[in-house]
């Protein structure tokens, strides 16, 4: 059984990250990993946080490739991300142009939970748990907006 607990993030919090088990990527293989990434983006682009992502399909495809490569590297895959996409990925700098409260992070994690539940019969639960634990902590690093403040996106949705 996988425990999909989501803890609260605090703006500016940078908890220590533990990388996922290599078994996660080994079970899925790169092709299955990219299927999982595609499933995730299909969900997130239809979610309440879709406005964080571009409308252009070519840009989305590049994001899928870049993030898929990065996430695979974090799961013990090779370092193609570093050579193909220009070096280290700074999660904080990449997301600082967006107002990201914890509630957006929770929505993002909710999409991941659906994706991971769909592969529970293909990957050992301990390996899915390690990936989930990584995502849950990793995502805290991008929260850059107070939870109790309305974002411009929140205001736009009510008009």
CATH number for the domain harbouring residue 113: 1.10.490.10
Which tops the pLDDT comparison, 48 or 95? 48
Enclosing H/E stretch for 131: helix 125-138
66 within some domain: yes
**Distance (Å, whole) CA 94 – CA 91:** 5
Please state the φ and ψ torsions of residue 96, each to the nearest 5 degrees. Answer: -70, -20
Which tops the pLDDT comparison, 153 or 18? 18
Which tops the pLDDT comparison, 102 or 117? 117
143 within some domain: yes
Q: What Cα–Cα distance (Å) separates residue 150 from each residue in 14, 49, 125, 141?
A: 23, 14, 37, 20
Q: Does the pLDDT of residue 110 top 80, yes or no? A: yes
Q: Does the pLDDT of residue 97 top 60, yes or no? A: no
17 within some domain: no
14 within some domain: no
Total domains, the chain: 1
Residue 72, domain extent: 22-158
Summarize the confidence of residues 61-90 as an average pLDDT. 78
pLDDT in tens, 126-150: 999 999 999 999 999 888 767 645 5
134 within some domain: yes
4 within some domain: no
pTM: 0.84
102 within some domain: yes
32 within some domain: yes
The pLDDT, as a whole number, for residue 16 is 94
């Amino acid at each position: 059984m996988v425990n999909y607990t989501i803890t609260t993030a605090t703006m500016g919090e940078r908890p220590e990250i533990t990388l996922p088990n290599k078994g996660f990527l080994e079970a899925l293989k790169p092709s299955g990993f990219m299927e999982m990434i595609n499933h995730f983006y299909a969900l997130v682009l239809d979610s309440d946080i879709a406005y964080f992502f571009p409308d252009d399909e070519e840009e989305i495809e590049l994001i899928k490739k870049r993030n898929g490569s990065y996430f695979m590297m974090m799961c013990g895959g090779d370092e193609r991300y570093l050579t193909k996409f220009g070096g280290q990925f700074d999660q904080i700098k990449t997301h600082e142009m967006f107002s990201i409260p914890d509630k957006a992070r929770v929505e993002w994690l909710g999409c991941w939970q659906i994706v991971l539940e769909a592969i529970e019969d293909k990957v050992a639960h301990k390996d899915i748990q390690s990936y989930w634990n990584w995502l849950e902590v990793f995502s805290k690093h991008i929260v850059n907006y107070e939870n109790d403040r309305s974002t411009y996106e929140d205001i736009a949705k009510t008009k």
